[in-house]
Amino acid sequence: MKVALFPPLPSETLRLLNEIHSITDKVLPLPARFRSALPRDIAELSRQLTSGRGERSLSYMNRPPLLSAYLRYFLPWNLYRLCRLLPSLKLSLKDNDSITDLGCGPLTFTIALWISRPDLRPLRLEFRCIDRSGPSLDSGKKIFAALCGGNSKWKIHTIRGDISATKAKPAALVCAVNLFNEMYGDLTRTGSGKMLHYAGKAASILQSYGTASASILSIEPGIPQCGEFISKLRNILLIKGYQPVSPCPHRLPCPLVSAKRWCHFAFETDDAPSALHKLSQAAGIPKERAVLSFLLANRNKAEKKPETVYGKADKFPTRIISDAIILPENRYGRYGCSPQGLVLLAGDKKSINNIPNGSLVKTISTGKKDPKSHALFVELDA
């Protein structure tokens, strides 16, 4: 059994992703003075979002050149990442449910959900999209309206404000995409103690926007610090009564918090829009792979509280969380997360390389541990 976390994109999703560039140009024409400088603006915004975080203003999306760069480069790449992930997530949404998107930017999550989940389009859903940038919200509304041709049952409410101070009706799904790494500054300089503090604040904010049985979805860049943040957020939500739904194959405390590994997933971008790849090349920041860390959790008071001790079963599911590594004796391995904690799946080169990152596989314990990582060695269960 191999269950993919990032299945191939359907033709309809690919078509709509390829149309985003032309839709954006149509509803938000790029002034001539910005067009020639677009690759340079993209490179500068990329720098401010990574190595130059300390120089970036929280209102950077209000600056026309940077907003333009975001809409034509970061928005479509974020849409691509989400469209690879969202089809595999069990989002328990029904007619008349509401969704609150915190720090939504140009309605990135709403647009990605429309593109990648046609099964949800017939539902009457209400979206409350909250962001501090008015121009970003307005841009997202125009892009979404053009994308669905004005023919949507979804009601979109944009709210300009700070998520820590804004009030909204409790939602069935509360999501935050690429929010907390920006909200809490440079997580790459954050120690574990402060990271736990930030994760606690984030959990309280997310919970405050949801109903008593709400689902929470948090997605962040797939760097080590964001992976650590997601793991700590998961453990705090467990204490608050939320059960991890994905990507976790168990409801135990996250084994990666103390394992010097981070939960993240990478996939190739070969099927991303060609125009986006060309723009990436022009800006000097090509993307051959996309990487993210995420957590989907829900709250059901009827469910038992999670166990706190890892099991001893011989066979169990494992979520693959790393690329292949070379092991002794001409064998290869992939780290994984399981009900027995961190494991190291070992096998021959072909069988290990053929497992896509993020896959959920059936494994069997060998009873031995890796002396370096202390991960339990497992093999594929035939």
For the chain, domain boundaries: 2-299, 315-380
Q: What is the pLDDT of residue 189?
A: 54
pLDDT band for position 320 (cuts 50, 70, 90): very high
Q: Is 144 a residue whose pLDDT tops 90?
A: yes
pLDDT band for position 2 (cuts 50, 70, 90): low
- Provide mean pLDDT across the span 328-349: 94
**Strand ranges inside the chain, DSSP E:** 2-3, 98-102, 126-131, 155-160, 171-177, 210-221, 242-246, 265-268, 289-299, 315-320, 325-327, 331-338, 341-347, 360-369, 376-380
Give the chain's mean pLDDT.
Answer: 89
- Provide mean pLDDT across the span 48-53: 67
Q: How many residues does the chain have?
A: 382
**Residue among 321, 316, 323, 327 nearest 378 (CA):** 316
Q: What is the pLDDT of residue 86?
A: 97
- Provide mean pLDDT across the span 5-27: 95
Q: What is the pLDDT of residue 332?
A: 95
Q: What is the CATH number of domain 2-299?
A: 3.40.50.150
Considering the entire predicted model, what is its pTM? 0.92
Among the residue ranges 252-261, 302-311, 321-330, 372-381, the one predicted with the least confidence is 302-311
Question: How many whole angstroms separate alpha carbon 57 and alpha carbon 43?
Answer: 16
Q: What is the pLDDT of residue 311?
A: 59
> Under DSSP, is residue 30 helix (H, G, I), strand (E, B) or coil?
coil
- Model pLDDT for residues 250-295, shown as the tens digit of each residue: 999 998 887 677 889 999 999 999 999 999 999 999 888 999 999 9
> Under DSSP, is residue 288 helix (H, G, I), strand (E, B) or coil?
coil
- Model pLDDT for residues 145-167, shown as the tens digit of each residue: 999 998 899 999 999 999 987 88
Query: Is-same-fold flag (2-299; 315-380)?
Result: no
pLDDT band for position 308 (cuts 50, 70, 90): low
Q: What is the CATH number of domain 315-380?
A: 2.40.50.1010
- Model pLDDT for residues 173-232, shown as the tens digit of each residue: 999 999 998 877 655 555 556 888 899 999 999 999 999 999 999 999 988 889 999 999
Question: How many whole angstroms separate alpha carbon 129 and alpha carbon 140?
Answer: 10
Strands 155-160 and 126-131: parallel
